[in-house]
């Protein structure tokens, strides 16, 4: 009987360790997603600012929206390809997000 109890306790312990490991991996994955998302949003703002400043600003007529978005998208694709892949963000979706960021920033 003692051997059966020992085996049962070991099985329960292994199951608990497996459950804890699974929860830990899920938590780490979520934290990675949050950090990656924050990084991407910061990068979007940074490259849009650079595009606007580099070419002279949207309001001055020297830069079209499409040019700003194209410049920013090219930079992001080359700078953070892994982050884009993590969120399955294709070039079309990236352009939509950058366009929305310009709109929310008043441009």
Alpha helices in the chain (DSSP H): 2-55, 65-79, 81-86, 91-104
| Chain centroid to CA 10 | 40
65 in any annotated domain: yes
16 domain-assigned = no
Secondary structure of residue 87 in the 3-state scheme: coil
pLDDT at 59: 59
Distance of CA 72 to the CA centre of its chain: 16
pLDDT of residue 40: 86
pLDDT band at 77 (very low <50, low <70, confident <90, very high): very high
Number of compact structural domains in the chain: 1
Question: Is residue 75 situated within a structural domain?
Answer: yes
pLDDT, tens digit, for every residue of 27-73?
888 888 888 888 888 888 888 888 777 666 655 667 777 888 888 89
Residue 57 DSSP code: -
* Domain ranges, residue 73: 33-104
Instruction: Fill in the DSSP letter of residue 61.
Output: T
Report yes or no on whether pTM surpasses 0.75: no
Report if residue 22 sits inside a domain. no
């Amino acid at each position: 009987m003692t051997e059966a109890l020992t085996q049962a306790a070991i099985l329960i312990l292994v199951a608990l360790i497996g459950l804890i490991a699974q929860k830990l991996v899920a938590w780490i994955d979520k934290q990675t997603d949050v950090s990656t998302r924050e990084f991407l949003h910061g990068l979007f703002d940074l490259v849009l600012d650079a595009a606007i400043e580099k070419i002279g600003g949207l309001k001055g007529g020297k830069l079209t929206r499409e040019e700003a978005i194209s410049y920013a998208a090219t930079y992001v694709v080359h700078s953070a390809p892994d982050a884009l892949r993590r969120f399955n963000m294709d070039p079309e979706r990236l352009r939509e997000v950058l366009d929305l960021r310009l709109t929310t920033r008043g441009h």
